[in-house]
C-alpha cells in the first residue's frame, strides 16, 4: 500500500474513537476493501499514482469516513447501558434506602467498584467501564477527607504529599482515558461537581460533624435523585450514536443536576460556589479535548522524529 493510503488509514484511525477490539476489525476490513479497489483501478490501466489518487477521491474525507464508522459502531447494547449506569444506580439506591451509614454496604460497594474496574480494564477498556473508573477514585477522596482529622503537625505534612500524589494519580487516569477518547474522560468525571456540591452543602466547613450526618439523612432522597439522573444520562449516552448528541446530553444533564443540587440545598450553596462548580463542569468538556490534541500532536511529532532519524 502506498504512503498516501497509509496516511489516510492512520488519519481514520486517529479520529475513530471506538472500542479497540472493534477498531482492529474495522480497519482490517477497510484496508482490504481499499486494496481490492486499488487493484481494480490498476487492472483498468491506471498507474500506481493515478490509482491511489482516484481511490482517495472515491473514498472521500478521512474524518467523514471516521465519523460514519463511529456512528455505525458506537452505539452500545442495553446490557452495556445497564453496566455503565450501574455504579450511579447503586449510589442512588444507597441514599434512597438510607443505607449510606452502614459500613457493610459502603465496603461492599467500594469492593464491587474496584473489582468491576479491574475486570473492565483487563477486558480491553470497553465504554461501560469509565463510570466505574470514576468511582474507583472515591477511596482516594475519602483519604483526603480524613486528613484534617490528623494531629496538626501530621496534617501539615500529609496534606501537601497527598495533594501531589492524588493529582498525579488523577492525571495518569485522565491521560490514559484521553488517549482513547476525550469524551470518555468527561463521562468518567461527570459526577465530580455534583458530589462536590453535595459535600459543600452537607459539610460547609470541610468536616463531617454530627450536624453534617443529620443533614445527610435529611438530603438523602435528593442525593439519591441526583445519582438516578446521572444513571439515566449514562444509559442514554451509551445508546446514542451521534457524538454531538452525546456531548450535549452530558453538558445539559450535568448543568441541570447542579441546578437541582443548588435548589434543594436551600441557600447552603452560595452563588459564587455554584458558579465555581459550573466552571468545573465546563472544564470537564474543555480540558480533556485540549489534552487529547496535545497527546496526538506529541505522538505525531515523535513519529516524524523517528522517520527523520531512519532517513
HEC sequence for the chain: CCHHHHHHHHHHHHCCCCCHHHHHHHHHHHHHHHHHHHHHHHHCCCCHHHHHHHHHHHHCCHHHHHHHHHHHHCCCCHHHHHHHHHHHHHHHHHHHCCCCCCHHHHHHHHHHHHHHHHHHHHCCCCCCHHHHHHHCCHHHHHHHHHHHHCCHHHHHHHHHHHHHHHHHHHHHHHHHHHHHCHHHHHHHHCHHHHHHHHHHHHCCCCCCCHHHHHHHHHHHHHHHHHHHHHHHHHHHHHHCCCHHHHHHHHHHHHHHHHHHHHHHCCCCCCHHHHHHHHHHHHHHHHHHHHHHHHHHHHHHHHHHHHHHHHC
Whether residue 107 is found in the same domain as residue 155 = yes
Residue 309 lies in a domain: no
Q: What's the structural domain count of the chain?
A: 2
Whether residue 49 is found in the same domain as residue 81 = no
Residue 308 lies in a domain: no
Whether residue 45 is found in the same domain as residue 98 = no
Q: Which residues form the domain of 44?
A: 3-71
Whether residue 65 is found in the same domain as residue 93 = no
Residue 304 lies in a domain: no
Domain end (from 28, 55, 71) = 71
Residue 248 lies in a domain: yes
Residue 311 lies in a domain: no
Whether residue 141 is found in the same domain as residue 276 = yes
Domain end (from 22, 56, 71) = 71
Whether residue 51 is found in the same domain as residue 86 = no
Domain end (from 24, 48, 71) = 71
Whether residue 285 is found in the same domain as residue 204 = yes
| pLDDT above 50 for 233 | yes
Whether residue 49 is found in the same domain as residue 162 = no
Whether residue 93 is found in the same domain as residue 17 = no
Q: Quick: pLDDT tens for 134-143.
A: 888 877 777 7
Whether residue 205 is found in the same domain as residue 91 = yes
Q: Quick: pLDDT tens for 279-296.
A: 999 998 888 888 888 887
Q: Quick: pLDDT tens for 30-86.
A: 888 888 888 888 888 888 888 888 888 888 888 888 888 888 888 889 999 999 999
Residue 310 lies in a domain: no
Q: Tell me what pLDDT residue 1 has.
A: 57
Amino acid at each position: 500500500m502506498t504512503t498516501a493510503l497509509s496516511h489516510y488509514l492512520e488519519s481514520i484511525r486517529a479520529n475513530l474513537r471506538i472500542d479497540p477490539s472493534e477498531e482492529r476489525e474495522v480497519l482490517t476490513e477497510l484496508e482490504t476493501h481499499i486494496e481490492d479497489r486499488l487493484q481494480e483501478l490498476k487492472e483498468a490501466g491506471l498507474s500506481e499514482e493515478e490509482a491511489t489518487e482516484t481511490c482517495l477521491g472515491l473514498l472521500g474525507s478521512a474524518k467523514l469516513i471516521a465519523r460514519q464508522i463511529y456512528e455505525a459502531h458506537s452505539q452500545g447494547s442495553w446490557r452495556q447501558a445497564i453496566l455503565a449506569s450501574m455504579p450511579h444506580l447503586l449510589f442512588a439506591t444507597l441514599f434512597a434506602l438510607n443505607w449510606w451509614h452502614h459500613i457493610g454496604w459502603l465496603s461492599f460497594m467500594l469492593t464491587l467498584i474496584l473489582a468491576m474496574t479491574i475486570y473492565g480494564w483487563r477486558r480491553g477498556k470497553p465504554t461501560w467501564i469509565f463510570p466505574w473508573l470514576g468511582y474507583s477514585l472515591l477511596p482516594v477522596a475519602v483519604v483526603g477527607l480524613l486528613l484534617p482529622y490528623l494531629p496538626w503537625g501530621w496534617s501539615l505534612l500529609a496534606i501537601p504529599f497527598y495533594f501531589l500524589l492524588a493529582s498525579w494519580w488523577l492525571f495518569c487516569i485522565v491521560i490514559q482515558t484521553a488517549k482513547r477518547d476525550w469524551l470518555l474522560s468527561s463521562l468518567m468525571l461527570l459526577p465530580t461537581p455534583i458530589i462536590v456540591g453535595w459535600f459543600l452543602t452537607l459539610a460547609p466547613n470541610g468536616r463531617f460533624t454530627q450536624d453534617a450526618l443529620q443533614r445527610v439523612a435529611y438530603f438523602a432522597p435528593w442525593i439519591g435523585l441526583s445519582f438516578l439522573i446521572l444513571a439515566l444520562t449514562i444509559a442514554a449516552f451509551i445508546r446514542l450514536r451521534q457524538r454531538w448528541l452525546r456531548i450535549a446530553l452530558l453538558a445539559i444533564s450535568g448543568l441541570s443536576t447542579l441546578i437541582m443540587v443548588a435548589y434543594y440545598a436551600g441557600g447552603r450553596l452560595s452563588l459564587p460556589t455554584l458558579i465555581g462548580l459550573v466552571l468545573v463542569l465546563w472544564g470537564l468538556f474543555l480540558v480533556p479535548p485540549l489534552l487529547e490534541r496535545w497527546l496526538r500532536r506529541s505522538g505525531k511529532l515523535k513519529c516524524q522524529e523517528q522517520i527523520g532519524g531512519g532517513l
